[in-house]
Amino acid sequence: MEQLPVDGDTLYLGIDGGGTKCRAVIVDACGKTLGVGNGGPANPYHGVARALESIDNAADSALRAAGLPKSAKSQLVAGLGLAGVNVPSLFQIVKQWEHPFKEQYLTTDLHIACIGAHEQDDGAVIVSGTGSCGFSHVNGQSLILGAHGFPCGDVGSGAWIGLECVKAVLLDSDQLGPQTVLTDLVAEQLQARGIMIVERLNGAKSSDYAKLTPLVFSAAEQGDEVALRIIQEGADYLTAVARRLWATNPPRMSMLGGVSQRIVDWMDDDIADRMSEPLRQPEHGAVRFARTQHEALAEPVA
- Tens digits of per-residue pLDDT, 60-112? 999 999 999 999 999 999 999 998 898 899 999 999 999 999 999 999 999 99
How buried is 166 (Cβ within 10 angstroms: 0-12 exposed, 13-18 middle, 19+ buried)?
A: buried
Neighbours of 298 (CB within 10 A): 8
For 159, phi then psi, to 5°, come to -65, -45
- Terminal CA-CA length for the chain: 44
Provide the whole-model pTM: 0.86
Give the closest residue to 50 by CA, choosing from 39, 38, 59, 64.
Answer: 39
**Spatial distance between the Cα atoms of 31 and 72, rounded to a whole number of angstroms:** 18
- Tens digits of per-residue pLDDT, 253-284? 999 999 999 999 999 999 999 999 999 999 99
The HSE-up count of residue 28 (CA atoms within 13 Å, CB side) is: 12
Domains and CATH numbers, the chain: 11-119+280-298 (3.30.420.40), 158-272 (3.30.420.40)
For the chain, the farthest-separated pair of C-alpha atoms sits apart, in whole angstroms, at: 74
- Tens digits of per-residue pLDDT, 121-177? 999 999 999 889 999 999 999 999 998 888 999 999 999 999 999 999 999 999 999
288 and 115 in contact (C-beta within 8 Å)? yes
- Residues of 244-272 as b/e, b for ≥16 C-beta within 10 angstroms? ebeebebebbbbbbebbebbbebbeeebb
pLDDT at 203: 93
**Spatial distance between the Cα atoms of 218 and 207, rounded to a whole number of angstroms:** 19
Neighbours of 63 (CB within 10 A): 24
Q: In what order do the strands lie in the sheet with 141-146?
A: 141-146, 132-138, 123-128, 253-256
